[in-house]
A and B are shown apart, each in its own frame.
Chain A
């Protein structure tokens, strides 16, 4: 302030009370204006989107719901080939779910699926008791138990159902869940190895990751299916499904390792130092301090990898394993169902099942992120 003007101190010793924001700053109209019609560019995009929805949605609803055939058999669909043919799905439902799994033994699949969903629900439900124990069981005990149960233990009165009879959505789940359960821990170990101070460990991890990342999954599956048996001595066979699962798991682990490494690199050096200064050793620091934070950061990337893995399982059909897509495709070859609307219906169904599974994972990951958010500052 210059000398010439009369300087006067300003004192405000009463605190101005907080007021609610005026209604013009909130409310649905305001929301519309902010989000849909703010400026001409935004308005144009809104109108364009509405036009696209109007173009696609009525036709899709007409085909899938209104004109669709809901009851009857192939004759009903033949009579009305302009709508979806849902009887194709309902009549083949069992096959799509279980593949060629022995009909009398399908209760075993149901039981394993029930166990799986119960376990997942238990882990998702935040107030459930003994979540750690259930988590450990689902991670280590359950897969083994499920395998024995599905494959069969003749000594316990469960006849063997060989894996070439497994198929459909059950096979999709078996391959995808194995991949998920194996790839996360293996990916973490590989990521830690890649950042190790020890040159041998580091080189091995880099070679492993870059090898599996650099080879297309189809090639991996072909090698597992065609080339791998050539290296085995005569008479030794390894189950086709097992080979595919190992291939998919190692492939996913390489991707997972890079996702986790991204998280590890985002953790400041101070966290490592804080842990070291308290006397925590390497594995303790990683397990208690670094990984919980790093994995939290990369939840979107981890779930992204899971979703990719889940969808990639459809590739096993090229080595003769019939997952959900494979089952549907082989059902399409049936002359009885050679109707124009049936292939569309089949593929829409497959798409819908995959979409629901993947979107479920996406929702869960978002909820997990919100729950683990503790205010971020370090």
Chain B
């Protein structure tokens, strides 16, 4: 994996989560989450399945609603005000485990849809931006194909390009490589590393520990809806503090 320049995280806070709680019915999925992410910082979130890590990052752009506590993104309070939600979503890009590309649109149309209808820029400008990012993720030649004609790795790269077309200030990755064949994981991770290199604020839920080691400024370990441990990757992997973290690491690093 490429080496990554140390992040140039500033002191400016991009995301501030404090005292966040969430329930599904009676089930307490997120418990007292406190997290502050500085601009330019790269965070990797890991933990066993069902630990609430996806739910947590999905709260940041309001795909899930939290019931207690506060989330501020770029200084905007996330509440029921639709204007705030829209403003936050415009600045926060997201990539999903199953890509969620729009199968009825070509790759290029997938990338220009939101810029055209949300940012209201001209088609010419939208297509130029889209081609720029498709080149960055190294698949400009697929621009006129449909997502169904691409491999999983290519689809995920398109999904990243699609998010970048909105010029987001923050990128959320929700297990972006979990649905990919092993051969394709690297091409996606390379794009993410490049993005990190350019100073994008990123939160990645992933099980790619190699990526976490090289890219992350901080690794967060979650279990049962709580943040159990939070540390720089060096200390996190070599000297995990909590028993739960040690067990998790021993299980995933064993094979």
Complex alpha-carbon distance, A293 and B100, angstroms: 13
Q: Which A residues are CB-close (under 8 A) to B63? A: 273, 276-277
Asked if A376 is at the interface (CB within 8 A of a chain B CB), the reply is: yes
Decide if B149 is an interface residue (CB 8 Å cutoff): yes
Q: Does A278 contact B (CB under 8 A)?
A: yes
Is A270 within 8 A of B104, CB to CB?
no
| Other-chain contact of A374, B62, B113, B117, B148 (Cβ < 8 Å) | B148
Contact with A along B79-93 (1 / 0, CB 8 A): 000000010011011
B47-76 contact mask (Cβ, 8 Å, vs A): 1 or 0: 000000000000001110000000000000
The chain A residue sitting closest to B97, CB to CB, is A270
Asked if B104 contacts A292 (CB within 8 A), the reply is yes
Within the assembled complex, what's the spacing in Å between the Cα atoms of A270 and B62?
Answer: 14
Contact A377 B104 (CB under 8 A): no
Decide if B90 touches A270 in the complex (CB within 8 Å): no
Asked if A280 contacts B118 (CB within 8 A), the reply is yes
Instruction: List, in ascending order, chain B residues with CB within 8 A of A277's CB.
Output: 61, 63, 89, 92-94, 96, 100, 163
Interface string of B153-189 (1 = CB under 8 A from A): 0000000001100100000000000000000000000
A296 at the interface (CB under 8 A from B): yes
Interface positions of A from 250 to 284, Cβ below 8 Å from B? 268, 270-271, 273-281, 284
8 A Cβ contacts from A276-334 to B: 276-281, 284, 288-289, 292-293, 296
The answer for the CA separation of A284 and B86 in the assembled complex, in Å, is 13
Bound Cα distance A288, B93 (Å): 19
Is B102 in the interface zone, CB < 8 Å from A? yes
Bound CA–CA A277/B102 (angstroms): 13
Output the least CB separation between A98 and chain B (Å): 42
Further 11 A-B residue pairs, CB within 8 A, beyond A271-B100, A372-B104, A378-B100: A274-B100, A277-B92, A277-B94, A278-B89, A279-B89, A279-B114, A280-B114, A280-B118, A284-B117, A293-B104, A375-B146
Q: How far is the CA of A288 from the CA of B61 in the complex (A)?
A: 21
Contact with A along B89-117 (1 / 0, CB 8 A): 11011101011111110000000011001
B233 part of interface (Cβ distance < 8 Å): no
Q: Can you list 17 contacts pairing A with B, beta carbon distance less than 8 Å?
A: A268-B98, A274-B96, A275-B102, A276-B89, A277-B63, A278-B163, A279-B90, A280-B118, A284-B118, A293-B103, A296-B104, A374-B146, A375-B149, A377-B147, A378-B99, A378-B100, A378-B101
CB-based contact A274/B101 at 8 Å: yes
Query: Given the known A-B contacts A278-B113, A278-B162, A278-B166, are A273 and B100 also in contact in the complex, defined by CB atoms under 8 Å?
Result: yes
Q: How many residues of A contact B (CB 8 A)?
A: 24
Q: A277-B61, A278-B114 are in contact. Are A271 and B102 (CB under 8 A)?
A: yes
- Give bound CA distance, A281 to B92, whole Å: 15
Chain B residues within CB distance 8 Å of chain A: 61-63, 86, 89-90, 92-94, 96, 98-104, 113-114, 117-118, 146-149, 162-163, 166
Q: Is the CB of A374 within 8 A of B61?
A: no
Inter-subunit contact B166/A274 (CB<8 Å)? no
Which B residues are CB-close (under 8 A) to A378?
A: 98-101, 103, 147
Residues from chain B with a CB closer than 8 A to the CB of A274 are: 96, 100-102
Q: Smallest distance from the beta carbon of A126 to chain B beta carbons, Å? A: 16
Please give the distance in Å from B145's CB to the nearest CB on chain A.
9
Q: Which of A270, A278, A289, A374 lies in contact with B118, CB distance below 8 A?
A: A278
A281 touches B104 (CB 8 A): no
Interface centre among A273, A276, A278, A375, by most chain B C-beta atoms within 10 angstroms, is A278
With both chains docked as a complex, state the minimum distance between the C-beta of A211 and any C-beta of chain B, in angstroms: 33
Chain A residue nearest in CB terms to B86: A279
Task: Chain A residues near B90: list those with CB within 8 A.
Answer: 279
A268 to B96, CA, bound (A): 13
CB distance from B198 to the nearest CB of A (A): 20
Compute how far the CA of A293 lies from the CA of B102 in the bound complex, rounded to whole angstroms: 9
Chain A min CB distance to B168 (Å)? 10
Residues of B within 8 A of A280 (CB): 113-114, 117-118
Contact B104 A279 (CB under 8 A): no
User: Which among A270, A271, A275, A377 has the highest number of chain B CB atoms within 10 Å?
Assistant: A377
Cβ A374 vs Cβ B103 within 8 A: yes
CB of A374 to closest CB in B, whole Å: 4
Q: Are B113 and A288 in contact (CB under 8 A)?
A: yes
Which residues of chain A come closer than 8 Å to B102, judged between CB atoms?
271, 274-275, 289, 293
Say yes or no: A377 contacts B96, CB within 8 Å: no
Residues of A within 8 A of B100 (CB): 270-271, 273-274, 277, 378
Q: In the complex the two chains form, what is the Cα distance from A271 to B104 in whole Å?
A: 11
Report the minimal beta-carbon distance from A263 to chain B, rounded to whole angstroms: 12
